[in-house]
Amino acid sequence: MLRRAVRAGVRIAFGTDAGIVPHGTNPRELALMQRAWMTPQQVLVAATSSAAELLGLADRGRIAPGRLADLIAVAGDPFDLSTHHDRLRLVLKGGRIARRFHTSIEPVPLAGAD
């Protein structure tokens, strides 16, 4: 079904309305979308700008001057969606560093980070 929708040009938004979803499954879901015939670029757009626009929040979901950003930085290829959680290096929330990761497992606390 997803393959046909993507081929037909349907805008896809990442997310769920399923009420109860186990926490921490987003990285796996992103990888599954990629395996279901979406390019890595299409998956990232679905998880960011398309999701925001389709929710009526067009001022969010993009990196642009003057906007606050919640985003992550990963080591290696950012389009290798299946291993983002293992390669996480930095979390920005509201345009500020929220957490840096010394390794993919142990976070390094930052002075002044909330």
Give the pLDDT mean for 84-103. 83
Instruction: Render the burial of 64-81: b for 16+ CB within 10 Å, e for the rest.
Output: eeeeeeeebebeeeeeeb
pTM for the complete prediction? 0.70
Give the pLDDT mean for 48-55. 89
* Amino acid 104: pLDDT: 47
Tell me the pLDDT tens digit for each residue of 8-49. 989 998 877 766 766 667 777 888 888 888 898 999 899 888
- CA distances to 19, 59, 65 from 104, rounded to whole Å, are 29, 31, 29
81 or 14, higher pLDDT: 14
User: What is the Cα–Cα distance from 19 to 78, expressed in whole angstroms?
Assistant: 29
* Amino acid 98: pLDDT: 92
User: Which residue in this structure is represented by tokens 């805008």?
Assistant: 11
- CA distances to 48, 51, 79 from 100, rounded to whole Å, are 22, 26, 20
How high does pLDDT run on average in the chain? 80
